[in-house]
């Protein structure tokens, strides 16, 4: 599911989960939803090269086994090969599952993590006075999520403790339970913070808005 396909009710449900999670803890949770973390131009080039290569092989086989291409001008060979390459690139752009086939898991994970770090600063998660901001970054194309906590949280909650929440969230994304999984992850973060002693201060001013950030 892409961010643009989330309804207003979906966004409200996620925002309510943020409010619920922050009701009893000093952490400030910022959910950021992205269509994808990179355009992945390399997938286009790989798909284009593959189909162009296949077209070239087929033309070569036909040339040596039949008389069909015997009198074909050389520029038509090139045109057919280039057309096949363009078709491959077009297919990859229009199909997320096909595009993922041309990308390694390591590359997708690296791009998502890099973009999550950018979003941490772009959305001012680091600007709370006690440094208790938490970013929950969800990238739909990759079916991946990243949780980044500011230093005030990291001192109390080990990074490994977020891993189970991330795994549950990404599993839900793959199953199409987008809104439910994001909301559950947010509430789980709040419970972890409360259990780790990140209590809500008396003068809490909710520095960061509870709204969902959409990064198209």
- The whole-number pLDDT of residue 89 equals 97
Residue 181 buriedness (CB in 10 A; 0-12 / 13-18 / 19+):
buried
3-state secondary structure of 90: helix
Do 117 and 81 have their domain in common?
A: no
Does 204 score more than 90 pLDDT?
A: no
130-146 burial by CB neighbour count: b if 16+ within 10 A, else e? Answer: bebbbbbbbbbbbbbbb
Last residue of a domain, one of 101, 123, 141: 101
3-state secondary structure of 201: coil
Query: Domain containing 176 — which CATH number?
Result: 3.10.310.50
Instruction: Please measure the distance between the N-terminal and C-terminal CA atoms of the chain and give it in whole angstroms.
Output: 13
Does 4 score more than 60 pLDDT?
A: no
pLDDT digits (tens, 9 = 90+) for 139-189: 999 999 999 999 999 889 988 899 999 999 999 999 989 999 999 999 999
pLDDT digits (tens, 9 = 90+) for 91-128: 999 999 999 999 999 999 999 999 999 999 999 999 99
Q: Which residues contact 7 (CB under 8 A, 6 or more apart)?
A: none
Does 196 score more than 80 pLDDT?
A: yes
Do 60 and 86 have their domain in common?
A: yes
Local confidence band at 3 (pLDDT 50, 70, 90 cut-offs):
low
Do 56 and 124 have their domain in common?
A: no
Q: Which domain holds residue 203?
A: 3-38+104-215
Do 115 and 95 have their domain in common?
A: no
Alpha-carbon torsion (147, 140, 39, 31), positive or negative: negative
Do 125 and 197 have their domain in common?
A: yes
Indicate yes or no: pTM above 0.85: yes
Average pLDDT of the residues in 130-143: 95
Do 81 and 136 have their domain in common?
A: no
**Structural domain total, the chain:** 2
pLDDT digits (tens, 9 = 90+) for 32-88: 999 999 999 999 999 999 999 999 999 888 888 888 776 778 888 899 999 999 999
Last residue of a domain, one of 83, 101, 119: 101
Least confidently predicted of 4-8, 35-39, 84-88, 133-137 = 4-8
């Amino acid at each position: 599911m892409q961010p643009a396909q989330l309804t207003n009710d979906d966004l409200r449900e996620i925002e309510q989960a943020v409010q619920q999670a922050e009701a009893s803890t000093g952490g400030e949770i910022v959910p950021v939803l992205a269509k994808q973390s990179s355009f992945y131009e390399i997938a286009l080039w790989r798909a284009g090269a593959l189909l162009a290569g296949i077209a070239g092989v087929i033309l070569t086989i036909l040339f040596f086994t039949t008389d069909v291409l015997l009198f074909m001008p050389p520029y038509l060979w090139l045109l057919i090969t280039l057309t096949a390459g363009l078709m491959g690139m077009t297919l990859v752009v229009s199909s997320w599952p096909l595009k993922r086939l041309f990308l390694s898991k390591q590359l997708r994970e690296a791009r998502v993590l890099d973009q999550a770090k950018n979003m941490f600063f772009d959305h001012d998660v680091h600007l709370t006075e006690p440094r208790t901001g938490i970013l929950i970054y969800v990238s739909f194309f990759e079916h991946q999520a990243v949780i980044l906590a500011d230093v005030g949280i990291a001192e109390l909650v080990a990074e490994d403790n977020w891993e189970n929440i991330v795994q549950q969230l990404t599993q839900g994304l793959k199953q199409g339970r987008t809104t439910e999984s994001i909301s559950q992850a947010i509430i789980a973060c709040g419970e972890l913070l409360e259990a780790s002693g990140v209590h809500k201060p008396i003068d809490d001013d909710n520095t960061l808005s509870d709204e969902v950030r959409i990064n198209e």
